[in-house]
Structure 1
């Protein structure tokens, strides 16, 4: 079906394909139990795919998300496209690794740029852009903006169709923010710098040490225009911020456990990863003492069950898998209304990252 979608050319074929997709989504929704859908999603939550052939580029988002694009233009995620390769520090890191151009090697490009296959060639087309966070869009862009028919709108969409649309979009590779973990894992896949040679040989910083999901997402990179129909860049509700804080800790812990598992020597990369994981264990323990939640308990049990030492790759990876699963389920099943006890842990708006 995805292959057919990529080949559609005429308007008639397009509408037929959308009808088929809606039919498929309806069948899935009616005949699959919630547990089966969750199990299928679980199989995908660890897969972070950025295939240039599946990338459409940020211009494909502009028509429907103009306000979001303007907000993006004011962030380092956007400006890095024109600035990073000119920085002496970036050039020095690349030189130490023997990589040449910052814009022409996967080590740098994977986290600092967006690649797209254009005319059979892979090109860097933007900095950290829409698909860096929401996933390569070729297979899901038509699904996520189908509100139920050619004349349907976001306002007229039924709750049942919205649920179908979200589920099928996620299955097609979209990191939909209805589950905050799907976004958080993207952030931490880069902000923990999970590359041993990059840190130990290239002398790159071992992650963004001050990264915390609420403060880093609610400042200059916030782009919550959908909630207000484009009228304003909305603040997130307290309940959502609570979920975001916990999910951020869990996703950070997962990524740090994975980095620790990858370490092959007692050097800056492995030491920093283990120290980061240890600090996040303490944060998660603090959260667990303030609220009662089975997913938090599952993640904490998994994290505490393994030593943060070299030569424990299998155990650390299994623990990371368990933390990731707990984070996904927590984000899917928790609305934040029962988490008021963690409010003292949340950063104040004055602490939000603005530059």
Structure 2
């Protein structure tokens, strides 16, 4: 009986993380940029630079399919901080009144805009979470916001324009491509948790 309760709570906690994926996009005024993170997190940065998240900064705006989708959606410039594309495919920073795209999907896209927690994030506890930091165990929430289409202003229109179908994201395999833990191992999910998350990811 106790085992079943623990398992139920485990799955419930996973779902709680996933449902938290509905969080608002980054506040550009609180974005520090990947270069700030790279000063200490060199190995993580090296891993990031091998991913599509990083490559999108230069490649997405030149991609024929992306151009076709953008045209259908009325987007004149893909790599614009104001374009709908930016919320998932880019990192936008605001300095004063000026906003600009500074990179592809980056550290803060998953871990939260760092301005309020960058100086204290080595400390464990509730303070960093209260300041907006998303730790590694909650990384999946960042995946679902975009790969399940939760951040899309008009998901139906986006799909009609030719955007790849949401829910086809094979998250267990894809997460392995971006693992960048310096010490220890990533949190392991049970087969039951994997099935639960997989079902959630496929919802449209």
- TM-score normalised by the chain length of structure 1: 0.47
Q: Which runs of 5+ in 2 are unaligned?
A: 1-12
Unaligned runs of 5+ in 1: 1-37, 148-161, 228-234, 258-272, 274-355
Distance 2:127 2:196 in 1: 25
Q: Aligned partners of 2:194 and 2:30: how far apart in 1?
A: 27
What corresponds to 1:123 in structure 2? 100
Q: Tell me the TM-score normalised to structure 2 length.
A: 0.79
Question: What RMSD over aligned residues (CA atoms) do the two structures have, in Å?
Answer: 2.5
2:157 to 190, 197, 200: 197
CA distance in 1, matches of 2:162, 2:79: 18
Is the contact between residue 184 and residue 247 of structure 1 (CA under 8 Å) also seen in structure 2? no
Q: 2: CA distance between counterparts of 1:137 and 1:225?
A: 19
SS of the equivalent of 2:133 reads: coil
- Judging changes above 3 Å, is the alpha-carbon distance between structure 1 residues 116 and 67 closer, same or farther for their aligned structure 2 residues? same
- Structure in which a larger fraction of residues adopt helix: 1
Partners of 1:250 and 1:53 in 2: CA distance: 35
Q: In the alignment, is the contact (CA less than 8 A) between 1:77 and 1:127 conserved in 2? A: yes
Give how far 1:193 is off.
Answer: 2.6
The alpha-carbon deviation at position 251 of structure 1 amounts to 4.6
Q: Secondary structure at the match of 1:144?
A: coil
Matched residues in 1 for 2:44 and 2:170: separation?
A: 22
Cα deviation for residue 106 of structure 1 reads 3.3
Q: Once structures 1 and 2 are overlaid, which stretch shifts more, 47-56 or 91-100?
A: 47-56
CA distance in 2, matches of 1:210, 1:256: 8
The structure whose Rg is larger is 1
Q: Which runs of 4+ in 1 moved over 6 A?
A: none
Q: Which one of the candidate residues 121, 128, 136 is aligned to 2:113? A: 136
Find 2:130's aligned residue among 151, 171, 174: 171
CA distance in 1, matches of 2:61, 2:46: 23
Pair 1:217-2:184 in alignment = no
| Alignment size in residue pairs | 183
Map of 1:226 onto structure 2: 183
